[in-house]
Every structure is written in C-alpha cells, then in structure tokens.
Amino acid sequence: MLTLSLVVSLTLGGTDTLSKQSLQGLNFKGPSDWQKVAPDANSIQWNEPASGAEFAVSVFPVDPVRPSKLCVKQLVEALGSEGFVALTLGAQPASKKVSIDYVGEEKNDANKVSTTTVVGCNGQKKWVLTWTAKVSMSARFGPVLKRVMDSITYGK
C-alpha cells in the first residue's frame, strides 16, 4: 500500500507545472495552469476549478522595519500561535500551520479540507501564503505546495 501511495504521489505531484512569480519583492513559483487573479497590488490568488484547490499570497511592507524573527513572532501571535511550527524559507524565518476542516453541511471524508498557512518576514517585507485543498487530493497537492515553499526568495 505504501508503494502505491508513493507511486500515485510521484505521478500526480508532477502534473502541476509552476512558473516564476514576483509580488512586492517576494519571488516564488505559482501554478502555471490555474486561474490567477490579483485582487489588489499586494495579493495574487490561484484557483484550480477541477479540484477546488486554492492558493493565495499577500505581501506587505514592514513599517517600522524590525528584526525578521520578531516580525514573524508578531505575525504568528496575530493569527493565534497554536499549531504554528517555525521553519526557514528564503533564508529567513517563517512559520507554518496546517488546519483540517470540512466544507459543506456533512462532516465526511469527501468534504474534508486541509489549509496550510505560512507566514514569513525578512524585516522589510512580511507575507502570508494560504493553500487549501481537499485532504483526498494531498498526494497531488502536497508535493506542489512543497515546491512552492522551497522556491521562496526575497528580492533586493
């Protein structure tokens, strides 16, 4: 069973191509073939209609400029620190939280969704990334999310 899961993960994880994106000095890769909108100058959102998956990034200046670790700490506290795990992305501090919930009236596996929230800061720019997809699609979208997170860098 583990082998089958790995094969499915590797097969489906490669179906979503990524392309370079830049938003307010934050560089990363986003899904190339998904529907993309920019609701304002600080945000980009993607939607994959066939699965209902959604991905969004928002970037804002830090004012006043502060140490990056303090900035991430303040972001996490503002969102409620429970469940966040510290990590490093783009050679700067970040933090990630995964939440499970249900969409629709019935609480069953078909309606179970996972939302990953990631925040980061380099002391001058702060950002939040959210990724929501059905748990049943994690073999496809887990590897894509990892590739997006691994691609994050700060521009000059």
The pLDDT tens digits of the residues spanning 102-133 come to 988 889 888 899 999 999 999 999 999 999 99
Length of the chain: 156
Structure tokens at 84: 């966040």
Q: Please choose, from the candidates 7, 51, 55, the residue with its C-alpha nearest in 3D space to the C-alpha of residue 31.
A: 55
- Residue 122 in contact with residue 106, Cβ under 8 Å? no
pLDDT at 119 (0 to 100)? 98
Task: Please tell me the predicted confidence (pLDDT) of residue 8.
Answer: 44
- Of the pLDDT bands very low, low, confident and very high (cuts 50, 70, 90), residue 2 is very low
pLDDT for residue 15: 72
Question: Model-level pTM?
Answer: 0.88
Task: Round to whole Å and give the CA distance between 156 and 8.
Answer: 39
Lowest mean per-residue pLDDT among 20-34, 55-69, 99-113, 118-132: 99-113
Question: How confident is the model at residue 86, as a pLDDT?
Answer: 98
Domains observed in the chain = 2-154 (3.40.1000.10)
Burial class, 106, CB count within 10 angstroms (exposed 0-12 / middle 13-18 / buried 19+): exposed
Torsion over CA: 83, 86, 87, 91 (sign): positive
pLDDT at 4: 42
Query: How far is Cα 74 from Cα 86, in angstroms, rounded to an integer?
Result: 13
Q: Distance between alpha carbon 94 and the CA centroid of its chain, in Å? A: 12
